[in-house]
Amino acid sequence: KAAAGKIATKHKFVIDYSKPAGDQVFDGADFEKFLHDRIKVAGKAGQLGDNVKIARDSSNNKITVTSNIPLSKRYLKYLTKKFLKKNTLRDWIRVVATTKDSYTLKFFNISYVLFGLLFFVYLFHFYSQH
């Protein structure tokens, strides 16, 4: 609780999911519900009360989480990754910090992944013959 005359700390975090939503592989409404059901307040999930507010801006494909109690940005990243894993998107989408108080969901750069895989196969082939 804030002492008399002091302003309560307010945390505001933004999660931008516009890239995956633009390709119709990410459902913002499901993600909003997931966050609402999973964020813990006083050790209890789903009971946000007036302490935590979750707002979805469907025009910009962003979710804003505002909290009057201490809430870790890292905790939101953890929950976002958990949601991606649950929906089998974790292999394709990563969570990147873009500013001090925001995350953006981006696709992995597949060309780098394929290059690494080809390089690994080349090394394996080279060393297996020697």
- Bridge partners, 16 (sequence order): 62, 104
Q: What is the pLDDT of residues 59-83, one digit of tens each?
A: 999 999 999 999 999 999 999 999 9
For CA atoms 37, 57, 71, 31, give the dihedral sign. positive
User: What are the tens digits of pLDDT across the range 21-53?
Assistant: 988 889 999 999 999 999 999 889 988 989 999
Provide the whole-model pTM.
0.77
